Amino acid sequence: MFEHKNRIIVFCTEEARTAARILQEELRLRGVGCGITNDPGAADIRLQTAEYHNLDAYRIHGEDRLIFSAEGTRGLIFAIGRYLRKTEYRNGEVRLVADIRGEYHPRMPVRGHQLGYRPTANSYEAWDEEQYRRYYLDMMYFGANTAEHIPEYDGSERNALMKYSSPQMCAAASRIAQELDLDISLWMPNYETDDGKALQLAEPVFADAPRINAVFIPGSDPGDLPADALFRRAGVLYGALKKYHPDAKIWISAQMPHGSPDWGDAFISQIETLPEFVGGVIQGPNRAMELDELRKRVPDRYPIRLYPDITHNVRCEYPVHFPTDDWHYAWATTLSRESVNPRPKEMRRIHRLTRPYIIGSVSYSEGVNDDLNKMIWSDMDWFGETDLRESVADYVRLFFPGSDVALLTDAIFGLEENWESAPEESVSVTRTYEKWLRAGEENPALYQNWRYVMHLFRACCDELVRERRIFETDLIAKARAELDHGDVVAAEQILKTDFPACYTSLRNQIEEHAEALFRMIGLQTDVERYGAKSWERGAVLETIDLPVTNRAYYLRCFENAPADPKEKSDYMIRVFDRTKTESGAFYYSVAEHGLECANCPQEGYPYMNFRGDNPRNNGKAPMEILKVFDNYTFRIRTGGFDPACDYEMRVVYLSHKKENVTRHTVRINGSVIYCGPQFGPQDPDYDQKYLTEGFESAVYHVPGGVFANGCAEIELSEPTMGVMFSEIMIRRKEETA
């Protein structure tokens, strides 16, 4: 047990004074009053400086009192973070839950996160300077030593939420970082193709910021430049940078522009000239090559820093369930690309895969939705292999003081577990929702804590999606049964059934939490009311009510069905049974079955172009086609075919036609079934009846002789644009007649 006997914090230097004030304020927020003094007399905690030849290292020691030692303010803040993460607070008392004495040295020298003050963020641009300072400290308590900013050059992109221009906030953030001894990196993409204009925009930023330690120039995403032009730009900017910040380094990323397959080799040719102005290389999204190959080919004088995307769920570098990208479409539709997404287990897996090749990371983040991921990632950057549950428990102790640590630790892991299956199959969703509610009941002060409300908001959203999925799936089954009985009117009326009152109440809770989050931390869950940039920028209220089943699709088909009752009934049965197959036939949907069911490894890293979370998804399309596989090839193995029969294979593609595509190829067991213009033989009648704008199907004749003992290895390929498809159906010719 640690007790504040004298409630005094002693500091020995000016650097220690800054840290002492920070600790005093943290204890005050937790209900513990402490004075600070430079009197070396009796004290609870003593902060002092000592030489460690490492700004990040620190030591915690002492018997009757704790002594924090570090080289300067930064190390002392790290020590304070260690202390706060291992203490619990109740009724003004402090309790240490572990012996924290020891020397601490980070595994990775670079540990940080990007906090870009720009309209595309889902929260940062609503902040003031004090909120940035608060968040800097939060990150440092988990060991981060770098904050990265994005100095947009003018006011053209400034939105109504921004209290300052982007350069003003960049300078202010740099001043705060100076106070806390935190490194500042700038992400400066190549918006300008002219070097002179780029320099003219960048130099005032360099001049106004009191601290800049690194400048990150991406190869693309955005700002596509040829590799030689990219390095030339880096040299030009370095010339201005060193005038104001002589120790700062240029970091250049191997992010490849689209449509430039040889760019990676050109990048290596440039880095092999050993330019003095390059301090290191960055690996990020749209990578030119895999991380292990990059490390092999980049000269060893240049360290590699990772730029991991920990903020997005779909259409990104590390999607949910990386690398299979099989997040259920009901979750992906309603929670979209940038919802609140604690993913501790996945963060650990990605960190383990990447850390042997790098000296650290500064993550890509667009807001507080990934708050837990940031802290866990920094913890792993510091310690390497950590006890993941203890890291999450540290998060709870630090940010939810006075709460049940075990309960909220379980609740955080529960949010990740919720997404492991289809909503209706999950045993975690309701249990997790109840845990978040119980934590608030036990500690009502949590409703003033934005982190608690944010995770409760996610738990409510998960529960809503699960309830709706179960409710609508049941309606669909009942409607299909009515069609079997020939009652098409009853079937349609069943699908129009209103949600129960408990569902409406839960939906209202979500709105209340969203409003509170906007007020507390500027989280923008809506475009019109809260100022989100777009529906995929954390605006969950724009997507939460989108279809999670085919209920809306079936209702639209009822509207468009023939007027004659018999024809209407026959048509709707065909709609309901669109993907149904008899014995000896085959159906595969990227959305329904995922890549694992392809039973065949795919080349490279396929991109999943998920379409379901676009608000234009209003039920015109069946859910099965809304996850689009995008790669140069797709392979799948299956069987059960009769070699004595001919078949038809229908493939539903994303409509993205190019006239110059002439080698769209379909093979089965190596035999070419089709090779020619993109997609091939069309079926506009089918598309009009069952699909929607943006999708089209092609039908290929499959002779029975191509099957090998009833088995088929199917390959779709195209060498320039690749193939973008959603589903494959194979039926006997007589079934499709």
Each residue's pLDDT tens digit, 515-548: 999 999 999 999 999 999 999 999 999 999 999 9
CB 269 within 8 A of CB 282: no
Q: Which of 531, 565, 599 is the last residue of a domain?
A: 565
Is there a single domain that holds both residue 526 and residue 431?
yes
Residue with tokens 């221009």: 165
Residue 709 pLDDT: 95
Q: 3-state DSSP call for residue 94?
A: strand
Give the span between the Cα atoms of 688 and 311, in whole angstroms: 38
Q: Which of 87, 104, 121 is the last residue of a domain?
A: 104
CB 279 within 8 A of CB 242: no
| CATH label of the domain that carries residue 17 | 3.30.379.10
Residue 1 pLDDT: 46
Q: State percent of the chain over pLDDT 70.
A: 98
Domain extent for 13:
8-104
Residue 133 lies in a domain: no
Alpha helix positions (H), 310-367: 329-335, 344-354
Q: Is the pLDDT of residue 605 over 80?
A: no
Is there a single domain that holds both residue 531 and residue 421?
yes
Compare 38 and 369 and report the one with higher pLDDT: 369
pTM score: 0.95
If one counts the domains in the chain, the total is 3
Residue 154 pLDDT: 57
Residue 329 lies in a domain: no
Residue 221 pLDDT: 81
User: For 216-270, how does the pLDDT look when each residue is reduced to its tens digit (9 = 90+)?
Assistant: 999 988 878 899 999 999 999 999 999 999 999 999 999 988 778 899 999 999 9
Is there a single domain that holds both residue 30 and residue 84?
yes
Is there a single domain that holds both residue 42 and residue 91?
yes
Give the span between the Cα atoms of 84 and 27, in whole angstroms: 9
Q: Which of 59, 81, 104 is the last residue of a domain?
A: 104
Kindly state the average pLDDT of the residues 482-493.
96
Residue with tokens 């409003």: 515
Is there a single domain that holds both residue 585 and residue 550?
no
Residue 575 pLDDT: 96
**Spatial CA neighbour of 492 closest among 580, 398, 396, 571:** 571
Provide DSSP, 150-190: ----SGGG--TT-SS-HHHHHHHHHHHHHHHT-EEEEE---
Is there a single domain that holds both residue 604 and residue 468?
no
| CATH label of the domain that carries residue 655 | 2.60.120.1620
Is there a single domain that holds both residue 539 and residue 585?
no
Residue 88 identity: E
Q: Which residues fall within 8 angstroms of residue 370, CB to CB, at 6 or more apart? A: 310, 311, 341, 363
Residue 479 lies in a domain: yes
For the chain, give the mean pLDDT. 94
C-alpha 345: how far from its chain's center?
A: 14
Residue 676 lies in a domain: yes
Q: How far separated are the first and last CA of the chain, in Å rounded?
A: 80
User: For 628-646, how does the pLDDT look when each residue is reduced to its tens digit (9 = 90+)?
Assistant: 999 999 999 999 999 999 9
**Spatial CA neighbour of 547 closest among 725, 339, 386, 333:** 333
Is there a single domain that holds both residue 531 and residue 616?
no
pLDDT confidence tier of residue 157, bands split at 50, 70 and 90: confident
- Strand locations in 40-190 (E): 45-49, 58-61, 66-70, 87-90, 93-96, 102-104, 110-114, 146-149, 183-187
Residue 710 identity: G
Is there a single domain that holds both residue 587 and residue 722?
yes
Is there a single domain that holds both residue 522 and residue 585?
no
Kindly state the average pLDDT of the residues 338-355.
97
User: For 71-114, how does the pLDDT look when each residue is reduced to its tens digit (9 = 90+)?
Assistant: 999 999 999 999 999 999 988 789 999 999 999 999 999 999 99
Q: Is the pLDDT of residue 156 over 70?
A: no
Give the span between the Cα atoms of 139 and 136, in whole angstroms: 5
Residue 305 lies in a domain: no
Give the span between the Cα atoms of 605 and 593, in whole angstroms: 18
Is there a single domain that holds both residue 456 and residue 519?
yes
Residue 397 lies in a domain: no
Compare 734 and 121 and report the one with higher pLDDT: 121
Is there a single domain that holds both residue 731 and residue 647?
yes
Residue 339 lies in a domain: no
Residue 247 lies in a domain: no
Residue with tokens 């030119």: 288
Kindly state the average pLDDT of the residues 708-727.
95
C-alpha 669: how far from its chain's center?
A: 38
Can you state the angle between helices 344-354 and 388-399, rounded to 10 degrees? 120
